[in-house]
Amino acid sequence: MSLEAKRRIIFILGLLFLTSLVFVQWMEVTRKREEAGLSAAHVAVPASSKGCVDCHAENSPGIVAHWKGSTHAEKGVACFECHQAQQGEADAFSHYGQTIATVVTPMDCSRCHVTEGEEFAHSHHAKAANILASLDNLLAETVEGSREPFNPHSPTLGREMAAQVNGLASVNSGCQQCHGGRVALLDKDGKPVTNLDLKPGSDGKPTNAEALGRVARDAKGKPMLDSKTWPNTGIGRINLDGSLGSCAACHSRHDFSPRRARQPENCGKCHLGPDHPQEEIYNESKHGVAYRDLRDKMNLDAKDWVLGKDYSAAPTCATCHMSGNMRNGGKTTHDPGERISWTNRPPVSLVMDTDAQHGVVKEADPEKRRGLIVDTWQQKRQRMTDTCMHCHSPDYVNNFYKQYDDLVRLYNEKFGKPGLAIMAAMKKNGLLSEKDFDEKVEWSWYLIWHHEGRRARHGASMMAPDYTHWHGMFEVAERWYTEFIPEIREIIETAKKDGKKEAAEAAGKVVEEIMGRAEHKWPEEFKKGK
Amino acid sequence: MISPIAWLKERIPVDGDQLAELSNEPVPNHLKRWWFALGGTPAYLFVVQIVTGILLAFYYEPSPRTAYGSVQYITDTAAYGWYFRSVHKWGATLMIAAVILHQMRVFFTGAYRKPREINWMIGMCLLVCTLMAGFTGYSLVYEQLSYWGTTVGANISGSVPVVGPFMRDMMLGGEAYNERTLSRLFIVHAAILPALMVGLIVVHIALIRLQGVTEFQFKDEPADKPKHFPFFPDHLYTELSIGLVLMIVLSALATILPATLGPRADPLSTPEVIKPEWFFYVTFRWLKLFSGTFAILSSGFIAFTMFIWPFIDGWIRRKSKFQEASVAIGILAVLAIIGLTVWEAAVAH
Amino acid sequence: MSEETPQEDGQPTPPPSSPAGEPAPDNWLVGDSAPPAEIPAPAPANQADPEPAPAWNAPEPVAEAEPPALPEAIDRRSFLSRASSIAMGAGLVGSYGVFAAMAGRFLYPAHPPLKGWLFVIEVAAMKPGASLTYTAPDGATIAVARQGLTGQVGDFIALSSTCPHLGCKVHWEGQNQRFFCPCHNGAFDPSGKATAGPPKEAGQSLGRYPLRIDGGLLYIEVPLEGLPGPEEA
């Protein structure tokens, strides 16, 4: 082979080698581009929490791992920034040289998340613990449990148990885990010390030194939280610093994931079950079906998660009730009541005209009423309509609202208001005791409005036909005609026989007036063969 | 004013013409046939390994805590790290293959015969060094298979009678794999073996240069043609072409089959299937075939026989009429090696 | 393989140039596997070959075989030869050059020093005139001071608290509006410029860190990684 040929061969081989190297570079560039979005942001532990992380990475690695995946970690907000406390706070203690507290409250979070804190504080969510004095609580405290601890009647084989049975166990593990309990420290006698004793000022520090002095501390100086009240991430938790709520109710610690709060399962921790099956209703609706199908198109990790911009695949609870959308300028609210026009919680649904304290206005006088209302139900409905219109036409939305209003009015007028009137007449005339749940008919009425009636109204509000009808209005009617009214009539008959003629007639008049109305007359007419 | 070249010549008194003369080796014509250039191939690959090895050593950290992470850094983060690591890995594979092919060529052409016995033995030393470099290099990755490969390899050395435990302790820096093992394997891989090989290669080539390349004449060449051709530039071009072909092959292998990274070494759990690198399949299968001491002693005996083969061959040729017994023996040995390698490759255990 | 077997004769044959070489019709190669022992190994090239054999080191053997070329043919040939030499050189330099450049890129740090914006404090929690010490993840201490009322980022300044003179820690003196180093009475104005002491003589200033306000929160840009101090190792 001539030298000339060899030179040419070398030239060609050189070009081939060069080509292979260009290919290598192309692969490198492609690889880097693919990895660019995937690699996790670099997390540096801020100096303030270096000690915490070093130790807790060994002792409770899950907490540290969750935190490391959070936006907090990316931005240099770590253990100390949230758990820091000041000397003089009721639950502050010294932990390896730093003053911290176990329970992080909305007061702590809102040092940075100011707007979110304010919106949440106004919301019905923050007041969820008001249930602690309600009918529902009566059920858990007295009917299911016992207001006072009581002695067990036989030993528990194989286990030494505390001397007395905690009659409020169902309240502690049930009601309060959703609604929130009143966080308590233990005093030296094992009695709770709460915000009611500590009387915290606006900075959250207790003003009652005597109560603070009563708080018991363990060998390391750490105050002891009452196990009946902690752990608790109920959304209306009443904290020792006087603040209401728990941000971790939706934004689970310690990654505080907005992603999770955007998913319906997160709300479903509490919004489910026989009395308000919102999660089941959502699952039944076309909204929920679309969400399950298109979950991977929901862009749940988007920073702002604005409907119409970041995603449009399907709505979740958060989409309609809280999150920002294109039509409202992307404004998220932490008060889910801002877009709700009916409250279907009470026996009779009320429109959501709210006052300065964000409470529902119940004033009947139109003049006074106008003076009290700060935010009308129409304004709230308009906000929701704006959300709907990202995917639906105005006529569609308006007609849907007519269907919804019609169902609410049907329930209100045929069962809600009459039921309330009958129960009021029975109590007024002494045919039922003032207290609830001691007579069978009181259970029947409770099931009608609190379970079945709500299911019907909620079902209609979120487009779940089966919950509106079979789990809702059908069961309302069944209980009304086969239990509630027969039980009421029986009590009245019995009263007549027992000589309470006057009272029985007064109550009976109310009942029969209602049952003689056009919408209730059908059984009579059927019997007459009409 | 003194010219820079004159200035330099004054300080480095080397005669350029003499240097050219010295290095311009007369190359026998048979080397125009490409398959006789197999000796240059491992030498070229050796240079590739030195270059890529130095690059990788910039980031590699030889300690059990950091080794795997640093290999991961090279593979995932450093620019072109995956490429240089893959080239280094495939360079090793090709180099071992080239060394073996070169050795087979030398063997079957009888090129080791008098007076080139010593160069054969130096070549054997280079083979052993290359294999050891392959073994230590793989162990540095500190993934599951490399960790357990090293452990098994060390324990095989440990079972050699008398000197075994000493060899194992020297290799691992203790009775078992420990904190200091990787740094010692690294120094062997990246300093001792390369230095040793550079020395051996220099002697290997110097001996070839002094003794001349074994010359063959092909019958299709006219007898009156020149018997040699110049190293510069003719043979250099050949070697440059081979070098480029090797670079293309390495780049292709690196992009099509890049070096992977298995799970990190776990000293508490042995993987279900453990295998050494392919060039140890023969030994591995041999050790499985025979029981402990015999397997090891017989391996050693075979290696020793290969080492002194030129003398055995000379003895056979002097004492018997089977002048080319080596060819038959060689064919049998190659078949045995291929057989054992394929056997080991085909089965899991 | 077997085709390449050397000639099967018991003794090493003389070099092929010797007339003793017998034709071996069934062997395609003749020659020695080793030169005769009594003859020294093939002499280095500078010892003249006894025979006037064709020069092995003739620059272009091919050229010899050709008849003397015409001047323009020589020109064409030399042009071609030069062109192919340049092409070969370019191919070699280009390909190995790119390889070397990639090696250079491999050795250059894979990414710029890793920095991040980290939370310092809520703007509202820091009154004008107040200062605090922020410790970066790499352990560097940074004096953050608020000097204005506007609530904008210009109110704040973040200075390395290490005195450029001998490495002591400076602190902010609100009443004197200066950073003060207790070691040699070095003083710095609110922007970090030296106003007294040894640093002033040397014209040194305190190092500054970038700050940012986002949603009422003050963030600082600091290195995210550094070598651990002795107590962490």
Residue A423, CA distances (Å) to A200, A418, A434, A475, A513 in order: 41, 9, 10, 19, 14
Given C88, C114, C119, which is nearest A75 (Cβ)?
A: C119
CA-based R_g, chain B, Å: 23
- Set of chain B residues whose Cβ sits within 8 Å of the Cβ of C92: 240, 244
Exposed e or buried b per residue across B287-321, where buried means at least 16 C-beta atoms within 10 angstroms of its C-beta:
beeeeeeebbeebeeeeeebbebbeebeebbeeee
Mean pLDDT of C196-222: 89
> Which helix (DSSP H) or strand (DSSP E) does residue C133 occupy?
strand C131-135
- Could you tell me if C145 and C218 are in contact, meaning their C-beta atoms sit under 8 angstroms apart? no
Which residues, including other chains, have CB under 8 Å from residue A437's CB and lie 6 or more apart? A138, A139, A143, A443, A446
Nearest Cα to B124, choosing from B339, B302, B340, B334? Answer: B302
Give Cα A527 to chain centroid, integer Å: 47
Look at residues A395, A491, A411, A496 and name the one whose alpha carbon lies nearest to residue A454: A411
Give pLDDT, residue C17. 40
Nearest to C16 among B79, B211, B227 (CB): B227
Given C91, C215, C217, which is nearest A10 (Cβ)? Answer: C91
Which residues, 6+ apart, have CB-to-CB distance to A103 below 8 Å?
A91, A183, A225, A230, A239, A240
Digit-coded pLDDT (tens) for A281-309: 999 999 999 999 999 999 999 989 999 99
Query: Hey, is the C-beta of A303 within 8 angstroms of any chain C C-beta?
Result: no
**B105: which 2 tokens?**
């060529």
- What was the pLDDT predicted at B1? 62
Residue C224 has which token pair?
């995210």
> Per-residue confidence at A411, pLDDT binned at 50, 70, 90?
very high
In which band, very low, low, confident or very high, does the pLDDT at A134 lie, cut at 50, 70 and 90?
Answer: confident
Specify the range with the lowest mean pLDDT, choosing from A258-262, B41-45, B49-53, C32-36: C32-36
Residue C13, pLDDT > 50, answer no
- Give the range among A217-221, A239-243, A310-314, A418-422 with minimum mean pLDDT: A217-221
Q: What is the pLDDT of residue C169?
A: 80
The pLDDT of residue B34 is above 70? no
Q: What is the mean pLDDT of residues C178-207?
A: 87
Q: In this structure, which amino acid lies at residue A214?
A: R
**C-beta of residue C114 within 8 angstroms of C-beta of residue A42:** yes
Residue of A nearest to B83 (CA): A24
- As a whole number, mean pLDDT of residues B271-288 equals 85
Query: What percent of chain A shows pLDDT beyond 70?
Result: 98
Which chains does chain B touch, 3 or more C-beta pairs < 8 A?
A, C
Q: What is the mean pLDDT of residues C115-130?
A: 88
- CB distance from B217 to chain C under 8 Å? yes
Record: contact B216-C4, CB cut-off 8 A: yes
Q: Under the phi-then-psi rule, with left for phi > 0, alpha for psi from -120 to 50, and beta for the rest, what region is A221?
A: left
With an 8 Å Cβ cutoff, are A10 and B252 in contact? no
Structure tokens at A134: 């309600």
pLDDT for C71 beyond 70: no
Average pLDDT, chain A: 93
Checking if the pLDDT of C36 tops 50, the result is no
Contact assignment for C32 to B77 by CB distance below 8 Å? no
- Could you tell me the two tokens for B326? 């080596």
Q: Is C157 exposed, middle or buried (0-12, 13-18, 19+ CB in 10 A)?
A: buried
pTM over 0.80: no
Q: What is Dmax (Cα atoms) for chain A?
A: 133
> Which three-class secondary structure state does DSSP give residue A351?
strand
Greatest Cα pair distance, chain B, in angstroms, is 78
* Ramachandran assignment for C212, one of left (phi > 0), alpha (psi -120 to 50 degrees), beta (any other): beta
Q: How many helices (H) and strands (E) does chain A have?
A: 28, 6
Residue A349 has pLDDT above 80, yes or no: yes
pLDDT, position B347: 82
**pLDDT for B141-177, tens place per residue?**
999 999 998 998 888 888 888 888 999 999 999 888 9
The alpha carbons of chain C give a radius of gyration, in whole angstroms, of 41
3 state SS of A435: coil
Tokens of residue B10, six digits: 């004054």
Mark yes or no for CB contact B244/A3 under 8 Å: no
